[in-house]
Amino acid sequence: MEICKTDTVRLLRLLKEAALIIEDNCRGIRSLDKARQLRQMAKKIQRKK
């Protein structure tokens, strides 16, 4: 199974949206770190694309 460009775009959008939701609804340090990790993963995937 291959990952196409559309899948990559959707994955990036989902990661960014998840980071925003976590930041808006959670205030703990662990939660904010998880949002940071999601953003970093999105940037990493964007560079690989």
Query: pTM of the prediction?
Result: 0.82
3-state helix, strand, coil in the chain (%, to 5): 85, 0, 15
* Residue 45, helix vs strand vs coil: helix
DSSP state of 5: H
pLDDT at 1: 82
| Predicted confidence (pLDDT) per residue in 1-49, tens digit | 888 999 999 999 999 999 999 999 988 999 999 999 999 999 999 998 7
pLDDT at 17: 96
pLDDT at 34: 95
